[in-house]
């Protein structure tokens, strides 16, 4: 099941796909992300979580442009196990090619330390292998 999430201009900024074989959600973030985009993407993630009850996410930022750290405070509350409407335990995060996206995820990783295991990867195959071992 693949779902495209579009912004108000009709451009796809996120592709969500539940991987039944591996029991994880694949998220592919595309282009520049606003806090509104991220919140909209998380709303769609909640809907998929209700249906599939996944605890693992393969988060792909290879097509992401720029920073998204302005959403990190909100994401910290959204993803923290004690306050989250979804229960994620593991995130394999494929980093973006740009330094600003990389710094954004490093900040989020620090914010969620000891709450969610987030591991950063440059290679999607390694990210998949790590997630399969969880």
Q: How is the chain split into domains, by residue range? A: 2-132
Domain 2-132 class in CATH: alpha beta
Strand partners, 31: 64
User: Would you say the pTM of this structure is higher than 0.75?
Assistant: yes
- Written as six digits, the tokens of 3 are 């779902």
Residue-wise pLDDT for 61-101, tens only, equals 999 999 999 999 999 988 988 888 899 999 999 999 989 98
Q: Give the three-class secondary structure for 132.
A: helix
DSSP E strands, 20-116: 24-32, 56-65, 90-94
């Amino acid at each position: 099941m693949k779902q495209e999430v579009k912004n108000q201009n009709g451009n796809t900024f996120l592709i969500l796909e539940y991987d039944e074989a591996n029991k994880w959600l694949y998220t592919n973030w595309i282009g520049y992300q606003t806090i509104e985009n991220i919140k909209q993407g998380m709303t769609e993630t909640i809907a998929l979580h209700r249906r599939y009850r996944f605890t693992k996410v393969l988060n792909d930022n290879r097509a992401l442009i720029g920073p998204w750290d302005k959403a990190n405070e909100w994401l910290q509350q959204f993803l923290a196990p004690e306050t989250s409407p979804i229960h994620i335990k593991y995130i394999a995060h494929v980093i973006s090619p740009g330094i600003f996206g990389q710094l954004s995820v490093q900040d989020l990783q620090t914010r969620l330390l000891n709450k969610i295991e987030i591991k950063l990867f440059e290679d999607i195959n390694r990210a998949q292998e790590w997630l399969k071992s969880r």
